[in-house]
Structure 1
């Protein structure tokens, strides 16, 4: 069916919101864009004159497309090389979506996106729609073809799962950034001991190379193990130069709304580190080095003003 200019405009008015929902559901900007494009094709084929509330119709279509994608993604991730982590987004990316409330900011943090991988697809959908986009359970129930009571129960269960994974108290953004800067200074000092003091005793570091960049298949666990890994990560070595190039610049930046670090090599984002900073110290470091998941970040990085690096390795 041929769309009118008004029909296209109505869809475009919802695009950023749909992409933000898709990203939170799928953990992938590229897959979110594909889901939104498929939603547009469904919009194009629909009898639009009979759709009473276009925003609700589009959200339902997009959500169910993402649920189908999540179910198939679980099978694909069983054969994924190494650990699977979401695609990180840098500050200002419209796909991050709303950030007006603490709940909205928390729901798109890299740590919570990673935790959401543990949720069943319907739990993830209800959690995202309610926590990040403030949809009432009545509408969520209509989107997912469940009862309102079921939506409320699923949300409660999902929220409990997320809370259990984030038992510690997080610090505010300014303090988190200060700790990240101190951590990176320690990491580049040439000694692992200062790092141990900034980590919680049960700290974890996880890396995602997707089989394209070396990354350990198992997480590093414990402050000493994580400190040694990070210390080794910043030590110059011929093997590293063969992968990243002769010069790697390290910047403190914002990753999914939280302080993090980005490594630049040859004008491209080579790696992104996201820190989970609590009142007890750095409890988790998530390292994304899979080049397929850094393309969007590279585009945003090259188009932004990012100041001076905190460290240069040659």
Structure 2
């Protein structure tokens, strides 16, 4: 395992990328990655393909974690969203594949909640990380034929909810700039023009800070709700600072002491030939922001 030990620094980003997309928690993904590395270190088996071995150990640990976390998710107050990451991607590599960035969005990861742990593993390993079916079958303990069926079933579950990524980054960034400008200015007409007709606003607070526990749906309702939020932010002297969140345009909300209070993430899609915001995710649960305050 000497060769494997020398590869740990290269393997860790891949392992974290898989674990984070599987479980949606930064702390849990780091724990899973660390446990996987320890298991690999203790294993004396000669490994020909360290990345495949690391993927197998990490994915199996993530599946086990999701199975044990299911009850906690069911008791969650309101919408459950993944813990956000600030920046373009989670690999530290600006040249990371585009599909990895897209699979990192809060909208994509929240949609993964529709899948069982094994379905999620098969979908991510095939659609995001491009592993072949034989490799995936080894990871999840199924046959290659089973994995093909699982993938087809997963696609059917996700078809209506998967985000669309047709809008180039430059246009998404410009739309986000106009969005936050309209929110600050209280410009209802401009804001409505930037939102999809069936736009959805989700907030994750778990009953700690005040937050809506059901999605706000529809252009008019979301626009008016947002303007109310920004009026409250101005009253409380909160600073809304634009920031990439999980690879998508968004913002951090800071109080007068520069403490992080919330994170916004915007999901932009092409609607009738025009880019519009179709989903807004807001994480205000302090437990899900703690890892950002520590960095």
- Of 88-97 and 290-299, more deviation after overlay is shown by 88-97
Tell which deviates more after alignment, 54-63 or 202-211: 54-63
Confirm or deny that 1:207 pairs with 2:207: no
- Please give the alpha-carbon distance, in whole angstroms, between the structure 1 residues aligned to 2:251 and 2:100: 22
2:119 to 102, 123, 126: 123
For 2:290, the equivalent position in structure 1 comes to 295
Contact kept, 8 Å, 1:96 with 1:108, in 2: the verdict is: no
Residue aligning to 2:264: 273
Corresponding residue for 2:16?
19
- Cross-structure match for 1:284: 279
Task: Quickly say closer, same or farther: Cα 1:51–1:130, change in 2 above 3 A.
Answer: same
1:236-280 deviation digits (Å, cap 9, x = unpaired)? 379x73xxxxx3221222111111112122223221111111223
Deviations, residues 114-140 of structure 1 (Å, cap 9, x unaligned): 111111211110111122221111111
Query: 1:1-314 to 2 correspondence within 5 Å?
Result: 8-46=5-43, 48-91=44-87, 94-95=90-91, 100-166=96-162, 170-236=166-232, 241=236, 247-265=237-255, 266-280=257-271, 281-300=276-295
Counterpart CA distance in 1 for 2:55 and 2:151 is: 18
Shift in CA distance, 100/169, structure 1 to aligned 2, threshold 3 Å = closer
* Greater CA drift, 109-118 or 35-44: 35-44
Partner in structure 2 of residue 312 of structure 1: none
Assess if the C-alpha contact under 8 Å between 1:20 and 1:96 holds in 2.
no
Larger deviation, residues 140-149 vs 56-65: 56-65
Pair 1:215–1:20, CA change in 2 (3 A): same
Provide the alpha-carbon RMSD of the alignment: 2.4
- Report runs of 4+ in structure 1 exceeding 6 Å deviation: 96-99
* Residues matched between the structures, number: 290
Q: Answer yes or no: is the 8 Å Cα contact 2:88–2:247 preserved in 1.
A: no
Whether the aligned pair in 1 keeps the contact of 2:250 and 2:265 (CA below 8 Å) is: yes
Q: Partners of 1:158 and 1:98 in 2: how far apart?
A: 30
| Separation of aligned partners in 1, 2:45 and 2:111 | 40
Tell me: CA distance 1:97–1:259, structure 2 relative to 1, closer, same or farther (3 Å): same
For 1:294 and 1:95, locate their aligned partners in 2 and report how far apart those are by CA, in whole Å. Answer: 19
State how far apart, in whole Å, the 2-side matches of 1:196 and 1:267 are.
30
Gap change, CA 1:168 and 1:61, over 3 Å in 2: closer
